[in-house]
Amino acid sequence: MNEQLNMNKRRSGVILHATSLPSRHGIGDLGPEAYRFADFLCRAKQSCWQFLPLNPTQEISGNSPYNSNSAFAGNTLLISPELLCEEGLLTEQELRAAPRFPEGRCDYRAVIPYKEGLLSRAYERAKSSRGIREKYEEFCAAQSSWLEDFALFVVLKGKNNRKAWNEWDSELRDRIPGALERMQKDHAEALEREKFLQYIFFTQWFSLKKYCSEKGILLIGDIPIYVNYDSPDVWAHSDIFMLDERMRPAFVAGVPPDYFSKTGQLWGNPLYRWDRLQETGFDWWIRRMAHTLNLFDVVRVDHFRGLVAYWEVPSTEKTAINGRWVEVPSVDFFSALTRRFPVFPIIAEDLGIITDDVRDVMERFGFPGMRIILFAFDDDNPHNPYLPDNYIQNCAAYTGTHDNNTVRGWIESEASHDKKRRLFRYLGRHVPPAHLHMELIRLIMMSVANTVVFPMQDILGLGEEARMNCPSIANGNWQWRLTPGQLATPLVDKFAEMTEVYGRA
């Protein structure tokens, strides 16, 4: 096994999504600040950098990276203008003309039209570059299995007033070859632009990945198991999804009622036809996983339990109450994946209510699960699996994820009196909110968990204002950004020392 992929080695790292990097262009990107952050990780003796999904985001979905219109494409908002300038595709003057964006937050409404304009200029200049053309054509050939459908879908959405694909003319909805060929011919220029932007995104990403690899930094990615209905994935592969005669979802994904919600959660994603997937040898999923493992060294699988059994809700329902559990041929599925990928480095997101069938699959295939220390103080149970002394080696431990409050935000505004009492009893003393983040990081660092990862906000000890996502709120999420001055030398030294002390350097 490649030493960098040895999941049994003690490691530590940081969660910081690409959008959260500093940038004068209003949103983090894959440019100079990404390389500086990799340098920070190296100086702090960290060996993991965890990202949220890198797929395109949409304003209609609150810019959530977990609700994308493609399971394969990259988010072109992450393309670095500085790197485009280095290639001669933008000018210094164009970069200097950037509007003043707020520091520490991402204003998507201002960022999207600004960056779209820059990308259009870059594309126009690239058309006359012979050197780029050759590499671009190689990229298109290598990625044709998803790229052609993605580009055509994006263009046709624009030509159909953003309507969902099942509302297009029947010839396009049903992908009649002659109709698709006409569209490809009539809109060749627009298709080229979409494919070129994907080429630029992946070129910049793999350059950053190479840099991180040379510094011994593993990149951890994130893959939502479901896809958006209005996507090229469903349009081009409708046979593997549960759709009705009108090509709408017959059943949709969600989770049943629980302690947190009396009506459950109705996500609305189309469900897979696992019988059909099984007949194809799980081909679509294998191609999706191969693509993702090419981007990252390790992949966190979001809502892992849905790959063992899923909550099926009729699409006519308004809540998730009237659903049922349906089993997935999970052993066959994961056997096919592990045959295809003898090194299959995933982290199973197994948070929430996990049943024995899910645990059995994880144990059978040796998949590490997750431990969140903020969940450890909900009860007085000394065997609570989220307490650090109950961790196992084969797990990934966190202070929190993108869906949690920060440690400081949690203790200041969320934790009940009883939770605080249990926490301080566990620590053996009262700890002020301003210092609690480092105490919890230390507890996780010294645990037996092989992999430990901390949101950048917790390393900095930031409060609720720095939270990445609040699942109960539709707007205002995914906006937090790091500022350059926050990566100060004392922080680097303190984090590096702790990492060395607990054998994770």
Which pLDDT tens digit goes with each residue over 263-298? 999 999 999 999 999 999 999 999 999 999 999 999
Active-site residue 3, yes or no? no
| pLDDT for the residue 455 | 98
Residue 119 located in a structural domain: no
Look at residues 447, 349, 483 and name the one whose alpha carbon lies nearest to residue 50: 349
Judge whether 344 lies within some domain. Answer: yes
Could you tell me if residue 34 is inside a domain? no
Q: Helices (H), strands (E): how many in the chain?
A: 19, 12
Name the domain count of the chain: 1
- 266 found inside a domain: yes
Whether 368 shows a pLDDT value over 90: the answer reads yes
Percent of the chain residues topping a pLDDT of 90: 93
Q: Is the dihedral of CA 487, 491, 492, 493 positive or negative?
A: positive
Determine, yes or no, domain membership for 360: yes
CB atoms under 10 Å from CB of 365, counted, come to 16
Residue pair 21/482 in contact by the 8 Å Cβ criterion: yes
- Read off the pTM: 0.96
78 phi, psi to nearest 5 deg? -85, 0
Chain mean position to CA 450: 21
End-to-end, the C-alpha distance of the chain in Å comes to: 20
Q: Is the pLDDT confidence value at 309 over 80?
A: yes
**pLDDT at residue 8 tops 70:** yes
Helix (H, G, I), strand (E, B) or coil at 256: coil
Residue 4 has pLDDT above 50, yes or no: no
| Averaged pLDDT for residues 203-232 | 98
**Is pLDDT at 78 greater than 60 in this prediction?**
yes
Clarify whether 349 is annotated catalytic: yes
Q: Which of 198-212, 319-333, 427-441, 476-490 has the lowest mean pLDDT?
A: 476-490
Q: Where are the alpha helices (DSSP H) in 127-176?
A: 130-142, 144-159, 170-173
**Which entry of 82, 107, 171, 403 is annotated as an active-site residue?**
403
* Token output for 303: 């809502």
pLDDT band (50, 70, 90) for residue 5: low
Q: Is residue 48 part of a domain?
A: no
Q: What is the mean pLDDT of the chain?
A: 95
On the question of pLDDT at 2 being above 60, the answer is no
Q: How far apart are CA 445 and CA 460, in angstroms?
A: 16
SS (H, E, C) 166-232: HHCCHHHHCCCHHHHHHHHHHCHHHHHHHHHHHHHHHHHHHHHHHHHHHCCCEEEEEEECCCCCCCH
Indicate whether 382 belongs to any domain.
no
Nearest alpha-carbon partner for 471 in 419, 405, 412, 406: 405
Span 450-461, pLDDT tens digits: 999 999 999 999
**Digit-coded pLDDT (tens) for 88-137:** 999 999 999 999 999 999 999 999 999 999 999 999 999 888 789 999 99
302 an active-site residue? yes
According to DSSP, residue 102 is labeled P
Mean pLDDT over 149-160 rounds to 97
- Between CA 248 and CA 229 the distance in angstroms is 8
- For 131, residues 6+ apart whose C-beta sits below 8 A from its C-beta are none
Range of the domain at 248: 237-367
pLDDT at 128: 82
Say if residue 495 is exposed, middle or buried (CB neighbours under 10 Å; 0-12, 13-18, 19+): buried
Sheet with 251-255, edge to edge strand ranges: 265-270, 251-255, 309-314, 324-327
Q: What is the pLDDT of residue 260?
A: 67
6 pLDDT higher than 80: no
Rounded alpha-carbon distances, angstroms, from residue 482 to 26, 85, 134, 468, 493: 11, 23, 37, 11, 19
Confidence of residue 488 (pLDDT cuts 50, 70, 90): confident
DSSP class of residue 429? S
CB-based contact 315:249 (threshold 8 Å): yes
pLDDT at residue 259 is higher than 80: no
According to the model, what pLDDT value does residue 489 have?
A: 84
Query: Is the pLDDT assigned to residue 1 strictly greater than 80?
Result: no
Q: How far is residue 270's CA from residue 170's CA, in Å, rounded to a whole number?
A: 20
> In the predicted model, is pLDDT for residue 353 greater than 90?
no
* Greater pLDDT, 481 or 488: 481
3 pLDDT more than 60:
no
Decide: helix, strand or coil at residue 126.
helix
pLDDT at site 182: 97
What mean pLDDT is predicted for residues 334-347? 97
| Of 29, 230, 349, 458, catalytic | 349
Q: Is residue 160 part of a domain?
A: no
Residue among 33, 222, 302, 458 flagged as catalytic: 302
pLDDT of residue 412: 98
Q: What is the pLDDT of residue 130?
A: 79
Q: Are 478 and 469 in contact (CB under 8 A)?
A: yes
pLDDT of 483 > 90? The answer is yes
